[in-house]
Each structure stands twice: as structure tokens, then as C-alpha cells.
Amino acid sequence: MFLITSPGDDEAGPDTTPTSQPTGSQPTNQPTGESSTKPGQSKNPKLHEGARISSDAISFPRRNPPWSDRKRLVSQLLNSSGQYVLLQENFDGKNDWYADIFVGALGTGSGFNGDPKATAASLSIQLRTSMYGDIPVTFKTVSNGAVKRSDKSGWYFQQLVTAKSPKLTARVLTLTVAVFDLGDGTAVAYISDIPTNRPELRAAESQAYKGINVG
């Protein structure tokens, strides 16, 4: 659930930035195995096939309506793909409020140095500004720990977020950040932002989190 400006905002529009795009013509005899896979790209694309929301080397099972697909969440998450539910439109006269589930690659700004725990902690703090803007919000870390998906190790942080705006009908939510080490010097992340007073959205997010594939 994050804050965007409604007028003129293209956040919900399609992402025209190519992902995993070849940079030029490749020789026909080039190996197609792991040695030809660039860092950050999936070495096992089959993990992300089917009814899934994917971004390079991470994906989760696509959620059914009312969830809708969208590109781009925050600047820290590169080539991100995800789904959202509109919770409250124009709640303060200029902004909309959403529930979100997103995946993507982490850029150099994330500070990833092979330590998913440190990166997840740093990203959790960065998102406080990226996702909530100037809305008065308090944060409380409620849990964190090791997590593994598709044999890739990672670390997650969960924060309880409370917005002080009386105009919001979903003021308390859970922000989950999980960072996974791809083993090639790069990392990917999962970010979700779900109101605590919507059990059906919490159930959908829980299934998405459990169904993450990495690699």
C-alpha cells in the first residue's frame, strides 16, 4: 500500500522499459547454458513460467481479481512487476492508497554486498520514504529472519506501519521486505504492503509470499 499522486501520474501505466533485453545480435553458436546468463538474470526461466508475476529471476503466483497487474513500485526495485488493489481513491484530495505485491531486482543503490540480511534491513528503512511520502507514519519491526525459496537464501523483515491520517480507512498495515541472494553477486527482492483489516488481501499475499520462486 503506497502513496502516489493521482493527476498526471503514470504509475499504473505499462512499463515500456525492456527487461532482460539482448544488447545486440548474438552468434548462433553461442552457448545457451549458464555461462551465457548475465548476472541478475534467471538461470532457470521455467521457474517463472505460467500464471506468475515475474521480474528477471524472481516471481510469485498471480493473484486473482480484485488484484490487477502493474509495473513499477519504487526506485529501489528495478524492472519491477507486481499487482495492486485500490483501497481508497483520492483520500486526501490528491492521492490514492493501494495494497501491493511486487518483485524486482536490486540496483547498486541497495548496497547489496552478498549479505541479504543487511540489505533487507537497509531497504526496509529506505521504503519508509519511498512508499509513504509525506504522510505521517510510524513503523515498528515485528519480525525478521532467514528465508529460502528455490534453494536461494535470503532474509526478510516485517514492519507494522501505522498511518496517522484520519481520512484513511486502512490505517494499519504490514510491510514485508525479503531479499534473496542469486549467488552471482546480485540480489532480488519481494515487497508487499497489506492492510491488517482486510483478511482476504492478507490471505492472498500470504500465498504469494509462500509461492515465491527465485533463480
Residue 76 lies in a domain: yes
Residue 77 lies in a domain: yes
Q: What is the count of structural domains for the chain?
A: 1
pLDDT in tens, 42-95: 999 999 999 999 998 999 999 999 999 999 999 999 999 999 999 999 888 888
> Could you give the CA distance from residue 189 to residue 59 in angstroms, rounded to a whole number?
10
Positions of E strands within the chain: 3-5, 52-55, 58-61, 68-71, 77-88, 95-106, 137-149, 152-163, 172-181, 187-195, 213-214
> Could you give the CA distance from residue 112 to residue 126 in angstroms, rounded to a whole number?
13
Q: What is the pLDDT confidence band of residue 31, given thresholds at 50, 70 and 90?
A: very low
Q: What average pLDDT is seen over the chain?
A: 85
Residue 116 lies in a domain: yes
> Could you give the CA distance from residue 141 to residue 32 in angstroms, rounded to a whole number?
43
Residue 202 lies in a domain: yes
* pTM, to two decimals: 0.83
Q: Which of 153, 158, 1 is nearest to 83 (CA)?
A: 1
Q: What is the pLDDT confidence band of residue 35, given thresholds at 50, 70 and 90?
A: low
pLDDT in tens, 129-139: 999 888 889 99
The CATH number for 122's domain is 3.40.1000.10
Residue 167 lies in a domain: yes
Mean pLDDT of 177-200: 97
Residue 31 lies in a domain: no
Domain span at residue 77 reads 39-214
Strands 152-163 and 137-149: antiparallel
Residue 65 lies in a domain: yes
DSSP state of 174: E
Residue 14 lies in a domain: no
Q: Report the range of poorest mean pLDDT among 31-40, 109-118, 125-134.
A: 31-40
